[in-house]
C-alpha cells in the first residue's frame, strides 16, 4: 500500500452545481478573532482584539466569531467587555465557539450573558479518522456527544429571555466524514434545536482540513443538502481551510452547490495554511459586478490592522492587497495597461477594461502610479505611462520609443528598477532642459506688409551673447526656423510636430514635441511646455537643437 491515496470521488452523476453562477454575496462571518487568533504565535491581547473587532465592523461584517470564551480568560474577558460596554452595534451578532462538553457550554453562556444577540457555536469532530484515532468512538457515540451538547445549549438558551440566542453546529472535519453520517448528525442536532424557516439554525460544514479538489468539495455540499432533512430550516455555512491552496476556489464552488454563508478571515490567517481569505473572495465578487456587501475601499488600512494584530505580513503577491499585485514590470504588459487606460479615457466608459488588471486599484484605495514599474524588462508603454502620470506629458509614439531606449540604457547599466520620479527627471533633463547653448527669451509679432508672411522679433542668447533678431515665415515657428538658420547657422528642419493641452492644475496649459532634423539626417526630439502653445513649440525646437549642440 502506498503512503498516500487519492480522495474518493463523490458519486453524484446528476450534480447541478456546475451549471450555477454566483449572483449574490453570501452571509459573511469573520472568524479572525477565534480561528485566526488560535493560530497565532502570539495570540492577540485585549487591545489588539478590540482594534481588529472595530476594523471588522468598519468593513461591514454582521456576524463575528469573537472567541472561544470557555477556553481562555482573555476571550472570556473580551466578550464581557463588548457586552458590558455596549460595543456591539444592534445589527451585528457575535458568535462564540464551544466544544460539546458541559462545563465549557455553561461557561460560554456566562460569557454571553446580556448580549443583545449571539450565536452559540457547538462543534465536535465527525470524520472517519478522528472517530477512530482521537475519540475511539463509533458513530452513535459521536452523535451522542453532539446531541448532549445541543440539549444543554437548548436548555440554557431557553432560560435567556427575549430569544436572543441563535444556534450553530459544526460537524468538525466534515470533509473527512461520510456525507450520510454528516447529514445524520446534523439532523440529530436539529431534532433537538427544532429550527424553523423563520428561525433557522446554522449548519457549518467545515473543510477543517482541505483534502480534495474544490469540485469534490462542491459535490459534498450538494450531496449533503440533498440528504439533510432540515435543509429548509437551516443556513448552510462554509468554513474552508487552505491546505491544498484552493480554499477560496472550494468556497466559491460550494456556493454554487447551495451554501448560504461563508466563514473566513482577513488575508486568510488561521490554522496551518490558514482559513478562507474573505478579502479575496469578496473582491472576486466585486470584479464580477456583484455587491460583496463588504467595504474594502481602504484595503491598505485593513492590511495595516491585520498585520499589526496578527504579526503576520501580507505577502507581496497576495491578491488585491499585496505590494506587487498592481505592478507590471514587463514591457508588453505595461504597453497593454497604458493602452487600456487610454482607451477607457477616450471612450469615457464605466466598465473597467484594462488588460492584466481585474479591478481598478482606485476602488480599493490603491493608486494608479505604482501600477507600472520599470526595469530592464520594460518597454516604451510603461515608461510613457509613468511620464504621463508624473508630468502630464502624452508622448508621441516615436518619442516613447526614443525615451524608452534612454531608460533601457540606465536599467541595463544599473541592473535595477528605476523609479517614476527618476524617469520624470531624466525626461525633463533630456528633452526639455538639456544643457543650453541657445536660450530662447521671447518673441513678439511686428508689422509686415508682405502677403501671407508673418514677421516676428525674437530675443535669443546664443553662446552667452544676447541677440534681438527679426525673422519671417508662415507662422512664428517657421519664422524661428529661418532666424536660427540665417543668424546662427543652426540649420534644422521640423520633421514632426505634436501638441496637446495639459491636465488642469499642471501649471502649464500646453505641451509641444518637435522632431528636428539636421542636414546630415540626424533626428532629435525636443519638448516644451508653456501657457502659450507657440512658446511651447519654440521651446521644443530650441531644446532639440541644444541636444544636438551638446553631443
Ligand X SMILES: CC(C)C(=O)C(=O)O
Ligand Y SMILES: CC(=O)SCCNC(=O)CCNC(=O)[C@H](O)C(C)(C)COP(=O)(O)OP(=O)(O)OC[C@H]1O[C@@H](n2cnc3c(N)ncnc32)[C@H](O)[C@@H]1OP(=O)(O)O
Instruction: Say how many C-beta atoms besides its own lie within 10 A of residue 486's C-beta.
Output: 13
Stretch that binds ligand Y, among 15-23, 64-72, 295-303, 463-471 (CB under 6 A): 64-72
Contacts of 436 (CB under 8 A, 6+ apart): 542, 546
Tell how strand 465-473 and strand 454-462 pair up: antiparallel
| C-alpha span between 309 and 48 (Å, rounded) | 5
Binding mask 16-55 for ligand X (x = CB under 6 A): -------------------x--------------------
Residue of 12, 15, 25, 38 that binds ligand Y (CB under 6 A) = 38
What interhelical angle do 179-193 and 139-158 show, nearest 10?
30
Judge contact between 145 and 181, C-beta under 8 A: no
The residue count for binding ligand Y (CB under 6 A) is 15
The verdict on whether residue 275 carries a ligand-binding annotation is yes
Stretch that binds ligand X, among 200-208, 370-378, 447-455, 483-491 (CB under 6 A): 200-208
Stretch that binds ligand X, among 202-210, 224-232, 420-428, 536-544 (CB under 6 A): 202-210
Q: Of these partners, ligand Y, ligand X, none, which one is at the site of residue 204 (CB under 5 to 8 Å by kind)? A: ligand X
Shortest Å distance, C-beta 123 to ligand Y: 5
Stretch that binds ligand Y, among 95-103, 212-220, 400-408, 500-508 (CB under 6 A): 95-103
What grid cell was written down for 12? 453524484
| C-alpha span between 151 and 176 (Å, rounded) | 25
| C-alpha span between 317 and 323 (Å, rounded) | 7
What 3 state SS string does 423-484 have? HHHHHHHHHHCCCCCEEEEEEEEECCCCCCCEEEEEEEEECCEEEEEEEEECCHHHHHHHHH
Shortest Å distance, C-beta 208 to ligand X: 3
Shortest Å distance, C-beta 104 to ligand X: 13
Please say which residue, 68 or 393, places its beta carbon nearer to ligand X: 68
**Binding status of residue 169 toward ligand Y by CB under 6 A:** no
Please say which residue, 65 or 222, places its beta carbon nearer to ligand Y: 65
Stretch that binds ligand Y, among 67-75, 77-85, 308-316, 457-465 (CB under 6 A): 67-75
Per DSSP, the three-state class of 374 is: strand
Footprint on residues 91-120 left by ligand X (CB under 6 A): 97
Q: Of these partners, ligand Y, ligand X, none, which one is at the site of residue 177 (CB under 5 to 8 Å by kind)? A: none
The verdict on whether residue 467 carries a ligand-binding annotation is no
Please say which residue, 126 or 420, places its beta carbon nearer to ligand X: 126
User: In which region does residue 327 sit, left (phi positive, over 0), alpha (psi from -120 to 50) or beta (all else)?
Assistant: beta
Shortest Å distance, C-beta 243 to ligand Y: 12
The verdict on whether residue 277 carries a ligand-binding annotation is no
| C-alpha span between 117 and 115 (Å, rounded) | 5
Q: What does the angle CA 53 – CA 267 – CA 323 come to, to the nearest 5 degrees?
A: 120
Binding site for ligand Y (CB under 6 A): 35, 38, 68, 71-72, 99-101, 123-124, 135, 145, 172, 208, 271
Return binding residues: 35, 239, 241, 275
Positions at the binding site for Mg(2+): 35, 239, 241, 275
Amino acid at each position: 500500500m502506498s503512503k498516500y491515496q487519492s480522495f474518493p470521488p463523490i458519486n453524484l452523476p446528476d450534480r447541478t452545481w456546475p451549471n450555477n453562477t454566483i449572483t449574490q454575496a453570501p452571509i459573511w462571518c469573520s472568524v479572525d478573532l477565534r480561528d485566526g487568533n488560535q493560530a497565532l504565535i502570539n495570540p492577540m491581547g485585549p487591545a489588539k482584539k478590540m482594534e481588529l473587532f472595530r476594523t471588522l465592523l468598519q468593513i461591514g461584517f454582521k456576524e463575528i466569531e469573537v472567541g472561544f470564551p470557555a477556553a481562555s480568560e482573555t476571550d472570556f474577558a473580551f466578550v464581557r467587555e463588548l457586552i458590558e460596554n455596549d460595543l456591539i452595534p444592534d445589527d451585528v451578532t457575535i458568535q462564540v465557539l464551544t466544544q460539546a462538553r458541559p462545563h465549557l457550554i455553561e461557561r460560554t453562556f456566562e460569557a454571553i450573558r446580556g448580549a443583545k444577540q449571539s450565536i452559540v457555536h457547538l462543534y465536535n469532530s465527525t470524520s472517519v479518522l478522528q472517530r477512530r484515532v482521537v475519540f475511539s468512538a463509533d458513530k452513535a457515540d459521536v452523535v451522542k456527544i453532539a446531541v448532549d451538547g445541543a440539549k444543554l445549549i437548548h436548555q440554557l438558551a431557553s432560560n435567556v429571555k427575549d430569544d436572543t440566542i441563535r444556534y450553530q453546529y459544526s460537524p468538525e472535519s466534515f470533509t473527512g466524514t461520510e456525507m450520510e453520517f454528516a447529514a445524520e448528525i446534523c439532523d440529530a442536532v436539529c431534532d433537538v434545536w427544532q429550527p424553523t424557516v423563520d428561525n433557522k439554525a446554522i449548519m457549518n460544514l467545515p473543510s477543517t482540513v482541505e483534502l480534495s479538489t474544490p469540485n469534490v468539495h462542491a459535490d459534498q455540499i450538494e450531496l449533503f443538502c440533498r440528504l439533510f432533512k432540515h435543509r429548509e430550516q437551516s443556513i448552510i455555512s462554509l468554513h474552508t481551510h487552505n491546505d491544498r491552496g484552493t480554499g477560496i476556489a472550494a468556497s466559491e464552488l460550494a456556493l454554487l452547490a447551495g451554501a448560504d454563508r461563508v466563514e473566513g478571515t482577513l488575508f486568510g490567517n488561521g490554522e496551518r495554511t490558514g482559513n478562507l481569505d474573505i478579502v479575496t473572495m469578496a473582491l472576486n465578487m466585486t470584479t464580477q459586478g456583484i455587491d460583496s456587501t463588504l467595504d474594502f475601499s481602504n484595503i491598505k488600512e485593513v492590511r495595516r490592522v491585520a498585520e499589526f494584530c496578527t504579526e503576520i505580513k501580507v505577502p507581496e503577491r497576495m491578491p488585491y492587497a499585496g505590494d506587487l499585485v498592481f505592478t507590471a514590470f514587463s514591457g508588453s504588459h505595461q504597453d497593454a495597461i497604458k493602452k487600456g487606460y487610454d482607451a477607457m479615457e477616450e471612450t469615457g466608459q464605466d466598465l473597467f477594461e484594462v488588460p492584466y488588471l481585474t479591478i481598478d486599484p482606485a476602488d480599493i484605495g490603491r493608486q494608479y502610479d505604482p501600477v507600472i514599474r520599470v526595469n530592464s524588462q520594460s518597454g516604451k508603454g510603461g515608461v510613457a505611462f509613468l511620464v504621463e502620470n508624473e508630468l502630464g506629458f502624452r508622448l508621441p509614439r516615436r518619442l516613447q520609443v526614443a525615451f524608452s531606449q534612454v531608460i533601457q540604457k540606465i536599467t541595463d547599466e544599473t541592473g535595477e528598477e528605476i523609479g517614476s520620479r527618476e524617469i520624470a527627471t531624466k525626461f525633463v533633463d533630456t528633452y526639455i532642459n538639456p544643457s543650453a547653448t541657445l536660450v530662447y527669451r521671447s518673441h513678439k509679432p511686428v508689422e509686415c506688409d508682405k502677403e501671407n508672411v508673418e514677421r516676428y522679433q525674437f530675443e535669443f542668447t546664443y553662446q552667452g551673447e544676447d541677440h534681438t533678431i527679426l525673422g519671417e515665415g508662415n507662422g512664428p515657428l517657421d519664422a524661428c526656423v529661418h532666424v536660427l538658420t540665417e543668424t546662427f547657422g543652426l540649420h534644422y528642419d521640423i520633421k514632426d510636430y505634436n501638441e496637446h493641452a495639459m491636465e488642469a492644475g499642471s501649471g502649464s496649459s500646453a505641451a509641444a514635441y518637435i522632431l528636428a532634423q539636421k542636414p546630415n539626417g540626424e533626428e532629435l526630439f525636443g519638448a516644451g511646455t508653456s501657457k502659450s502653445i507657440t512658446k511651447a513649440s519654440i521651446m521644443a525646437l530650441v531644446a532639440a537643437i541644444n541636444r544636438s549642440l551638446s553631443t
